[in-house]
Structure 1
Amino acid sequence: MSDIVDLTAAERTRILAKSALFDPPPAGLADGRRDLVGLSRAELAAEMASIDEAAFRVKQLWHWIYHQGVTDFSRMSSIARPLQRKLAERFVIGRPEAAVEQTSSDATRKWLFRFRDGQQAETVYIPDPVEDRGAVCVSSQVGCTLSCRFCHTGTQTLVRNLGAAEIVGQFMAARDAYGEWPSPKGETPRLLSTIVLMGMGEPLYNYANVAKAMTIVMDNEGIGLSRRRITLSTSGVVPIMDRAGAELGVNLAVSLHAVTDALRDELVPLNRKYPIADLMAACRRYPGASNARRITFEYIMLKGMNDSEAEARELVRLIAGMPAKVNLIPFNPWPDSRYEPSGKAALERFSGIVNAAGFAAPVRTPRGQDILAACGQLRTEGRRPRGQ
């Protein structure tokens, strides 16, 4: 057993070291000011110490930045004006620039956010059609390294990881747009139900920045989003799944999409490194998984490829005994894609078999297709600088 643990630890170290090659650029501005968004509490305390300010300023700033959503130091009424000016000289409270904003016919909203080095990533807000709330789908990388065959993002080379400030910043900029920050009277419209790390990139190949960002989001004195309302989606980076479960404990979604290694090797090339048996074992180990917090298996339905009744029964066998649900996702076409969505009859048969086995298997209604905001449709024109 110790050999297995050592190998897993070595693989985990290798993944994180490789990820560091794609780290984001420094957070400073050209004029030398530092962005306070994305700093941990300890880092924020260090910045305050650097300008001879007391540690209690951290709590004040944290409240204004993450609870109130303020971007202008002059609006921080609990901070004296001389200090407001001092802070503004040395720091900023940043947001990514919305280079493009689109709204779908179904009210889904998509932003193309541009970061300070000119790289871009997409973020989607999906409103709930019944309740006055929704979900923000956040990107973790510019591009992706996985090259999943059915995914538009997978056709784009990995350019770089997003930093914690850029990950948190997507959510904060979306909140700016749909007005979720508290009003001056303290009233807060509850428009958000979840954050889903299902945008561009593989979150577990950028674990350090994702973990830092989600720790900030979950801080009760700021945004205060419960871990039950955050879902991290992975294609199955098995060595990091255990760590994510232990350190973050957010909801887990797994991009499965096939029930045999032969087909999953084709659709999700990462499967060649971490095959289905290893992935299922990691899911069964995931801490906190229960009937109240089920693991979600994402399964994109591809006509004639993975939508047979036999495959539905094999899926049931794979997840047997696990607190799980299955999201059946009709394939969302994108330019030059070679797959077709499964027909209505195939969807209903597949869903019926999984449901009959005791697992929820809803067929997801595509949202934002007309603006290429649906699952698997996100992509930008980011390019890796020469020499990388």
Structure 2
Amino acid sequence: MSRTIIVGAGQAGFAVAARLRSKGYEGEIALIGDEPDPPYQRPPLSKKYLMGEMSRDRLYFRPPSFYSQNAIDLRTGVVVRSIDRRDRSIHIDGVALPYETLVIATGARPRRLPASMGGDLGNVYYVRTLTDIDLAAPQFRPGARLLIVGGGYIGLETAAVAASAGLEVTVIEASPRILQRVASSETAAFLRRIHRERGVRLIEGTGLKRLLGDDRAGVAETDDGQRLETDFVIVGIGVVPETRLAVAAGLTVDNGIQVDTQGRTSDPSIFAAGDCASFPHCGEYLRLESVPHAIDQGNAVADAIMGSSASYAARPWFWSDQYDIKLQIVGLNTGYDRVIERAGVRAGTASFWYFRGRKLLAVDAANDAQAYVMGKRWIDAGQSPDPDDIADQSRPLKEIAAH
């Protein structure tokens, strides 16, 4: 009997296992995760779960009984030490488990603050796993002073939750502005205003020099000489694809485990999916960090294991919840040379349209579902509206044609 082992029990790993069974795969399936919980949703961690509005079991994709009922050998709290490609086996604490097909879905890990900067102090936290949130949650008390290092989406989402809970929040961002790598200055300005209206202090263009304290950080020194008092610190300075197993096994790795259009690595018996994988897209290799992509690529890998020859075509979309703002993002804005800001139908809503020349690349829609739906429809179809039509605020979106 064939055996597929999936290393990594996050969104992509779960998608592979569930899809295989739903498609009638008759071989053995082992799903191995290094966390103690069964596969769970990550987006609610820093929002509803952190605030006690969602119980732990509601985070789980499926109840524990799902795995036994579907003959999926779920192993939690297990660390895979190495991959032996010659013997087609993985090693867990000296025990070898053979595979016919291996899927690496190890995701990504947070960039850590170095110990030389105070990263090892007791009140420095991250926002990635259930364990991370369980450790940080007791600190979220009204009036507590929170310092967030990093003005990306994770930092801003955490700031929104903390400010709504009555904490005093300061965000420092080393780049000239928040969302420097991922969004336009127009989108950043919209969100900056929202945060400042809620009392969040945003310090842009200066990085953290070091945290000071004996066992716990009490003061943060910035690169420009400011001293910020704090009760605890959240670090959100990006993630690194978890490729250590793949590197040690000699697989091709470059900003992620490189895979082909079906998710195969440089070893045809090994696949990779999700945040840890880089895949062909528009003539280059791309790595995406998003729930929809992890699901779609996980499904594509399962289909390939089942014999499908279809290629995976990414249709990137993302979202970010901050206060009462749902920011929906479709497309990839890489290479844009023009951004058009368009007011939504309702007060306080807006959309931001990224163009390269006359080609629509991406849309950021803030509480503007119509802009998101229209933008997604056009981008998925490879069509573009006339930028001048988008810029004309008097023209309803539904009356704009694309080509």
Structure whose CA Rg is larger = 2
Q: TM-score, normalised by structure 2?
A: 0.23
Greater length-normalized contact order (CA 8 Å, ≥ 6 residues apart): 1
Name the structure with the higher strand share: 2
Q: TM-score, normalised by structure 1?
A: 0.24
Name the structure with the higher helix share: 1
